[in-house]
């Protein structure tokens, strides 16, 4: 099935829903304008459609493999990565002083969606590299930035994140990898890391590994973790690549999906390394990379949902099946059955919503650095922090659901591998797990993000969503009244549930923890309705039957209405799940559950 990047939809989400216009012509981005945005999106789409997408099938069926201690990329990946690097896509949002284009990260995030939709496994390589670049830029010394960033920004080198060990997963306190001073100002790292995405390959000249390890005198727990940089190939004094460092791939995992992405066991056997940032502050430094990755993983949820939707839509237009409920034609297309069209419209609506949430998070991140005043920057930072767990968790949960719905639309044809629909489901399933499982995102939202700025972040969001609901309910176009009413009820549910969590997380923490995941879903559902409501209201402003975009505008209104009745209508019930408490969980034993 041919993939086509949804440039029109992405531009709509960036400009009309996420508010990227606030960055255009600003002091930080003086050359960024609407023409630049469109040119970059179209250029990224061309790369994704014509170069990366054709590698998706071979990436799944052939995959990467380990031969003679080296990872061999799937067919076509090396050539596609070369085109990606030579096109300057690695440095789209990077600082010009190191060779980057200096454009907003939100624009780079939008391009990343098209890359990941074209081939999710391929997109994981630049995802990790982007996070590594941001960590070095934020915490590295001037010398480290000068030596590593230009090569990574150019795409000649890639980056990885080495956190997990067999005994240390989401809880990194038990990390055992150690870093010993080498007497020459550097360190030697010894230990084993697992689940290292793109931990080895030969698509680029070098790989920059960022590694969490303990110094000899480090305190116990997470307060004793430091961040180190260990390149695959050491650098000579003149900057040229030298000998292979003392690190290697022990094995690669055999996974449910993303077969084209090598997930490596990495063995550090006295590897030469250098400290990044301050000793024993490694976890805080690594979170620069982790937060970047979390948003981009949310975008991967959007990407796989878009890919599954496009394939399901194409199949529904080609597959004859039964009698049409509207025309009576027999046979008719799958598309002409109300239930199939309902699923397709729901896939489209929730993907539009997830995209807008992710891009709004990215725009907030740009404004947190480039806003014109301290007040704008502070408010944007609070918004970015509040939105990030929702962008990651809600979008990736939707990616799995959308891929499953795509298989359903294909019917039996979706359950066999020949059509490719099953691949999207298999690929999507990892995204709710990595870069902080979605349950952890929910705990972060409940435990830290609700209280940001004394609750200012969530209060501001509630006020904005309520204002949108009122605008919809009072709109002259009556078709917007239902989305407005459903959104208003959803906002009330968010406000009630948030207040309950804030009250209980201090004196009744188990109750608050039990409600964390339902609250994230509740907030994500309502934020999605908010975004779709904005889209529908803007569509209604120019809704003229004679207009060339009449069908598009009418459909955007229809998507908001469908979402309101199929998603927002259920939100008040989620508030009950949030406030249920933990008593029934506490009173249940393993034996009673059948252990």
| Nearest C-alpha neighbor of 205 from the set 230, 229, 228, 233 | 233
Burial (CB count within 10 angstroms: exposed 0-12, middle 13-18, buried 19+), residue 544: exposed
CA distance 189 to 180: 7
- Largest interatomic CA distance in the chain: 82
How many helical (H) and strand (E) elements, i.e. helices and strands, does the chain have? 20, 11
- DSSP string spanning 234-289? EEPTTS-EEEEPSEEEEEE---SS-TTS-EEEEEEEEEEEEEESSTT-HHHHHHHH
Q: Catalytic residue at 180?
A: no
Question: Residue 369: enclosing H or E segment and its boundaries?
Answer: helix 338-370
Is the CB of residue 211 less than 8 Å from the CB of residue 230?
yes
Residues 570, 572, 574, 576, CA torsion sign: negative
First vs last C-alpha separation in the chain: 45
Which residues, listed in sequence order, are joined to residue 268 by a DSSP beta bridge?
191, 247
Residue partners of 265: CB distance under 8 A and separation at least 6:
192, 193, 194, 196, 199, 249, 250, 251, 252, 253
C-alpha neighbours within 13 Å on the C-beta side of residue 498: 28
CB atoms within 10 A of CB 190: 17
Radius of gyration of the chain (CA): 24
Asked, as a colleague might, if the bond just before 331 is cis with ω within 30 of 0, I would say: yes
What letters, b where the CB count within 10 A reaches 16 and e where it falls short, cover 14-53?
bbbbbebebbbeeeebeebeeebbeebbebbbebbbebbb
- Catalytic residue, chosen from 435, 492, 541, 565, is 435
| Nearest C-alpha neighbor of 68 from the set 239, 248, 284, 232 | 248
Catalytic residues: 435
């Amino acid at each position: 099935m041919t993939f086509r990047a949804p440039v029109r939809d992405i531009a709509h989400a960036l400009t009309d829903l996420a508010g990227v216009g606030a960055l255009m012509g600003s002091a930080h981005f003086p050359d960024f304008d609407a023409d630049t945005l469109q040119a970059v999106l179209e250029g990224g789409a061309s790369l994704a459609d014509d170069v990366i997408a054709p590698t998706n099938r071979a990436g799944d069926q052939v995959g990467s493999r380990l031969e003679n201690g080296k990872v061999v990329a799937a067919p076509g990946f090396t050539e596609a990565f070369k085109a990606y690097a030579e096109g300057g896509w690695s440095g789209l949002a990077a600082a010009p002083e190191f060779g980057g284009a200096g454009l907003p990260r939100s624009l780079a995030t939008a391009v990343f969606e098209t890359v990941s939709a074209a081939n999710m496994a391929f997109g994981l390589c630049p995802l990790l590299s982007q996070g590594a670049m941001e960590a070095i830029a934020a915490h590295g010394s001037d010398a480290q930035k000068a030596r590593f960033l230009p090569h990574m920004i150019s795409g000649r080198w890639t980056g990885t994140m080495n956190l997990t060990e067999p005994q240390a997963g989401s809880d990194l306190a038990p990390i055992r990898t150690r870093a010993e001073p080498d007497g020459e100002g550097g360190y030697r790292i010894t230990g084993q890391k697992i689940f290292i995405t793109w931990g080895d390959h030969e698509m680029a000249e070098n790989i920059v590994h960022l590694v969490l390890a303990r110094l000899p005198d480090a305190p116990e727990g997470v307060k004793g973790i430091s961040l180190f940089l260990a390149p695959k190939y050491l650098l000579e004094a003149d900057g040229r690549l030298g000998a292979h460092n003392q690190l290697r791939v022990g094995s690669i995992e055999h996974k449910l999906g993303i077969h084209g992405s090598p997930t490596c066991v990495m063995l550090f056997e006295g590897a030469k390394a250098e400290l990044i940032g301050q000793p024993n502050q490694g976890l805080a430094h690594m979170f620069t990379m982790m937060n970047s990755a979390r948003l981009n993983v949310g975008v991967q949820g959007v990407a796989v949902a878009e890919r599954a939707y496009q394939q399901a839509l194409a199949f529904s237009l080609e597959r004859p099946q039964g009698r049409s409920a509207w025309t009576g034609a027999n046979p008719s297309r799958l598309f002409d059955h109300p239930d199939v069209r309902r699923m397709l419209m729901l896939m489209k609506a929730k993907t539009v919503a997830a995209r807008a949430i992710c891009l709004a998070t990215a725009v907030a991140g740009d404004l947190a650095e480039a806003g014109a005043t301290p007040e704008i920057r502070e408010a944007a930072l609070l918004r970015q922090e509040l939105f990030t767990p929702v962008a990651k968790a809600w979008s990736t949960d939707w990616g799995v659901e959308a891929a499953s719905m795509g298989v359903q639309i294909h019917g039996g044809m979706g359950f066999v591998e020949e059509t490719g629909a099953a691949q999207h489901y298999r690929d999507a399933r990892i995204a709710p797990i990595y870069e902080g499982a979605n349950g952890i995102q929910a705990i972060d939202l409940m435990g830290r993000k609700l209280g940001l700025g004394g609750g200012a972040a969530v209060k501001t969001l509630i006020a904005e969503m309520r204002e949108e609901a009122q605008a919809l309910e009072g709109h002259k176009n009556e078709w917007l009244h239902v989305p407005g009413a459903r959104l208003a009820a959803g906002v009330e549910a968010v406000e009630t549930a948030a207040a309950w969590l804030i009250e209980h997380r201090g004196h009744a923490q188990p109750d608050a923890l039990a409600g964390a995941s339902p609250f994230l879903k509740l907030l994500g559902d309502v934020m999605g309705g908010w975004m779709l409501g904005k889209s529908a209201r803007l569509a209604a402003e120019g809704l003229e039957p004679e207009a060339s975009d009449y069908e598009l505008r009418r459909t955007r209104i229809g998507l908001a209405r469908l979402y309101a009745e199929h998603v927002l209508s259920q939100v008040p019930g989620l508030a009950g799940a949030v406030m249920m408490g933990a008593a029934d969980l506490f009173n249940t034993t393993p034996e009673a559950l059948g252990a």
